[in-house]
Chain A
């Protein structure tokens, strides 16, 4: 499969613009996901909708903020009543998920058959880079000028782990830098609904890196271990991209203005957080991993 920017018909998904910043990785991830969905399920006429900073808003806004999942529940119900059978995919940002966590949790728990893709840029980036539940540890955002929460160092909220045990049949993390992995995950997820995929998408203005470094930053997030890539499929948990030798986290943070305030001790804390997360993923894999015998 050719990626969006390599294709001749560059107009594909041209409507998905929201006057983004140049080189917006969230926009890239959204377009990639849509391309994969449309090319996989083209015959079934999928309904794809959503809203987000890099995703766009001229994009079938059907109701208020943070409500995509109750909207999906209603759409699937209405489709069943009207005898229409079309796959449903919603793409939105982490702010939407944070605000609509109640909707998300109950729609997944009740098993509505749709896929939810989150383009997670770790903040309300269109509204002055405010923090969300998935803002990374010690990252400076407008509502956390020291990168700390109430003076403490806190990790992010793991939407993926919440949903694994709340009815999701497929859960995965992904990155636009690992395109084949992303493609495979979306295809696997579409076979196992309800499915939830969280793609980490850097954000030029709120993270503060050079416009051409988006994919580099996304890749470094994976190789430093800050964004582990894994999937939960049919009750089996598996790391999909293993990082045997981690890149030092300084290479990731020095590209970004949001980490400019870090002291030597702070780096210790971030490394501790990475170790903790690595350990968490390893323990999950030991407990729920594939049976090797």
Chain B
């Protein structure tokens, strides 16, 4: 994060969840959709405490399960009020029909997700799979590094999603426990600044069904369009094309615009789609998302002190994926190491696709680490960067590797017991 001079007089210490709740409070959400699941639940708890104290004015909808609650969020958003919902892992699985309806019907809901690994085996700790498995349904995916990032990104997510040219749902995600339950300093903007940045949610022209005269509507040839309806005009394919353009063209531009606007207002920025760190004249760059970036900065500093040409690229937005922008940013670099916290090599495969057919592409090494909340220290990341440097020197390096162990120093490589026991043993 760039240290830009602060013009705020409110500096507080908040966990990631509480920062999200504070952002939703300042976004003046009118409906809190609430269903419990850890580690995201604290967002709703904190907001409902604010409502109880009379500090925040909103209605609470708590129905039978995540599907009901996310459905209420969908309908209330279409009825013209801004809503919030925080859930993760199995909660998202419960509501998957609503997830797809939201993007395909262009309903701009925002869901804050503190990542939690999917079961079985049951764990409560973090990895990215719970939202990354929805990378193909045209949601926007923001990945946040710390509480400040969570706070700022939540406001920006509403700003971009509710733009009438975008109208797309968004996940604002951060690592469960590592970010959600760790306290970080957060600078809060003034409420007037937030109000200026984020005016109330306005429905597009002609889509306010709470104002429709239904007796007339059902008696004429009039046909409701825009949101979910039967494809009588055979325009499904055109709708999907619009959706794709909205995500990959319009939303990308709007994210940059929103980021710039917010930066001018608050004096704090994250580079828009991605944030480089010491990448000038670097030969090996690590590409990662979320709280890994904070650890990676230490590793980069450590290696830079030893004179090694390494850097970090923190991806802020996984969808829309800034492929061409990354290709441009990595031009002239020799090795890129992607660090994924998911089993699908998401960053590795996306980056390779982006580089396909480009002249003189770098070597792209894929690394998976930290699944189910396993610790990743800066020694681990330093080791990955050093592997990249060996590749630059022409040595043979594994192109894809699962990084299981936790390094407590530069040379320790203990293997976990599971290899001796077999995968299905307790």
Interface residues of B in 45-85 (CB under 8 A from A): 59, 61, 63-65, 67-69, 71-76, 78-81
Q: How far is the CA of A16 from the CA of B214 in the complex (A)?
A: 12
Q: Which of B67, B71, B81, B97 contacts A82 (CB 8 A)?
A: B81
- B419 sits at the interface (CB 8 A): no
- A71 sits at the interface (CB 8 A): yes
Shortest distance from the beta carbon of A69 to any chain B beta carbon, whole Å: 8
Interface residues of A in 2-24 (CB under 8 A from B): 9, 11-16
Interface residues of B in 341-382 (CB under 8 A from A): none
Which residues of A lie under 8 Å from residue B73 when comparing CB positions? 74
Q: Which of A15, A57, A67 contacts B218 (CB 8 A)?
A: A15
B61, A61: Cβ atoms closer than 8 Å: no
Which residues of A lie under 8 Å from residue B219 when comparing CB positions? 9, 11-15
B214, A47: Cβ atoms closer than 8 Å: yes
A60, B232: Cβ atoms closer than 8 Å: no
A61-B230, A74-B31 as given contacts; A82 in contact with B80, CB under 8 Å? yes
Which residues of B lie under 8 Å from residue A287 when comparing CB positions? none
Q: Which of B74, B81, B101 contacts A81 (CB 8 A)?
A: B81
- A102 sits at the interface (CB 8 A): yes
- B210 sits at the interface (CB 8 A): yes
- A281 sits at the interface (CB 8 A): no
Specify the chain B residue showing the minimal Cβ separation from A67.
Answer: B71
A60-B224, A62-B227, A81-B81 as given contacts; A103 in contact with B63, CB under 8 Å? yes
Interface string of A32-65 (1 = CB under 8 A from B): 0010001000100111110000000110111111
Which residues of A lie under 8 Å from residue B101 when comparing CB positions? 63-64
Q: Which of A9, A12, A34, A102 contacts B68 (CB 8 A)?
A: A102
Which residues of B lie under 8 Å from residue A110 when comparing CB positions? 63
Interface string of A74-91 (1 = CB under 8 A from B): 110111111010100000
Q: How far is the CA of A13 from the CA of B221 in the complex (A)?
A: 10
A67, B230: Cβ atoms closer than 8 Å: no
Specify the chain A residue showing the minimal Cβ separation from B224.
Answer: A60
- B259 sits at the interface (CB 8 A): no
B98, A64: Cβ atoms closer than 8 Å: yes
- B264 sits at the interface (CB 8 A): no
Q: How far is the CA of A84 from the CA of B212 in the complex (A)?
A: 12
B72, A70: Cβ atoms closer than 8 Å: yes
- Contact-residue bracket for chain B: 35 or more
Which residues of B lie under 8 Å from residue A9 when comparing CB positions? 219
Q: Which of A12, A58, A61, A74 contacts B79 (CB 8 A)?
A: A74
- B220 sits at the interface (CB 8 A): yes
A58, B80: Cβ atoms closer than 8 Å: no
B76, A77: Cβ atoms closer than 8 Å: yes
Q: How far is the CA of A76 from the CA of B224 in the complex (A)?
A: 21
Specify the chain B residue showing the minimal Cβ separation from A31.
Answer: B218
Shortest distance from the beta carbon of B374 to any chain A beta carbon, whole Å: 36
Shortest distance from the beta carbon of A137 to any chain B beta carbon, whole Å: 28
Q: Which of B218, B223, B228 contacts A13 (CB 8 A)?
A: B218
A45-B213, A73-B63, A74-B76 as given contacts; A64 in contact with B97, CB under 8 Å? yes
B61, A74: Cβ atoms closer than 8 Å: yes
Shortest distance from the beta carbon of B25 to any chain A beta carbon, whole Å: 16
A42-B215, A58-B223 as given contacts; A71 in contact with B72, CB under 8 Å? yes
Which residues of B lie under 8 Å from residue A64 when comparing CB positions? 67, 71, 97-98, 101
Q: Which of B69, B220, B222 contacts A70 (CB 8 A)?
A: B69
Which residues of A lie under 8 Å from residue B81 when comparing CB positions? 77-78, 81-82
A65, B59: Cβ atoms closer than 8 Å: no
Interface string of A247-272 (1 = CB under 8 A from B): 00000000000000000000000000
A62, B61: Cβ atoms closer than 8 Å: no
- B229 sits at the interface (CB 8 A): yes
Interface residues of B in 184-222 (CB under 8 A from A): 209-215, 217-222
Which residues of A lie under 8 Å from residue B125 when comparing CB positions? none
Shortest distance from the beta carbon of B240 to any chain A beta carbon, whole Å: 17
- B141 sits at the interface (CB 8 A): no
In the complex, the number of residue pairs spanning A and B with C-beta atoms less than 8 Å apart equals 139
A63, B74: Cβ atoms closer than 8 Å: yes
Which residues of A lie under 8 Å from residue B211 when comparing CB positions? 84
B218, A34: Cβ atoms closer than 8 Å: yes
Specify the chain B residue showing the minimal Cβ separation from A61.
Answer: B228
A80-B59, A84-B210, A102-B68 as given contacts; A58 in contact with B230, CB under 8 Å? yes
A86, B68: Cβ atoms closer than 8 Å: no
- B30 sits at the interface (CB 8 A): yes
B210, A70: Cβ atoms closer than 8 Å: no
Q: How far is the CA of A239 from the CA of B118 in the complex (A)?
A: 51
Which residues of A lie under 8 Å from residue B75 when comparing CB positions? 62-63, 70-71, 74-75, 78
Q: How far is the CA of A77 from the CA of B29 in the complex (A)?
A: 13
Which residues of B lie under 8 Å from residue A77 when comparing CB positions? 31, 59, 61, 72, 76, 81
B98, A16: Cβ atoms closer than 8 Å: no
Shortest distance from the beta carbon of B277 to any chain A beta carbon, whole Å: 42
Which residues of A lie under 8 Å from residue B232 when comparing CB positions? 58
Q: Which of A58, A73, A102 contacts B65 (CB 8 A)?
A: A102
Q: Which of A9, A42, A64, A102 has the most CB of B within 10 A?
A: A64
B31, A67: Cβ atoms closer than 8 Å: no
B61, A79: Cβ atoms closer than 8 Å: no
- A146 sits at the interface (CB 8 A): no
Q: How far is the CA of A45 from the CA of B76 in the complex (A)?
A: 19
Which residues of A lie under 8 Å from residue B221 when comparing CB positions? 15
Q: List 29 interface pairs A-B (beta carbons < 8 Å), by A numbering.
A: A12-B218, A13-B219, A14-B218, A15-B218, A38-B214, A45-B213, A45-B214, A46-B214, A47-B212, A57-B229, A61-B230, A63-B75, A65-B97, A67-B67, A70-B61, A73-B63, A73-B72, A75-B79, A77-B59, A77-B61, A77-B72, A77-B76, A78-B75, A78-B80, A81-B30, A81-B59, A82-B79, A106-B64, A107-B63
Q: 7 closest pairs, A vs B, by CB?
A: A78-B79, A102-B64, A74-B72, A74-B75, A70-B68, A74-B76, A64-B97
| Other A-B pairs beyond A62-B227, A63-B101, A77-B59, 18, CB < 8 Å | A15-B218, A15-B220, A47-B214, A62-B209, A63-B74, A63-B98, A64-B98, A67-B68, A71-B71, A74-B74, A77-B81, A78-B80, A79-B210, A82-B80, A84-B211, A102-B63, A106-B64, A110-B63
Instruction: Give the interface of B toward A (CB within 8 A).
Output: 30-31, 59, 61, 63-65, 67-69, 71-76, 78-81, 97-98, 101, 209-215, 217-224, 227-230, 232
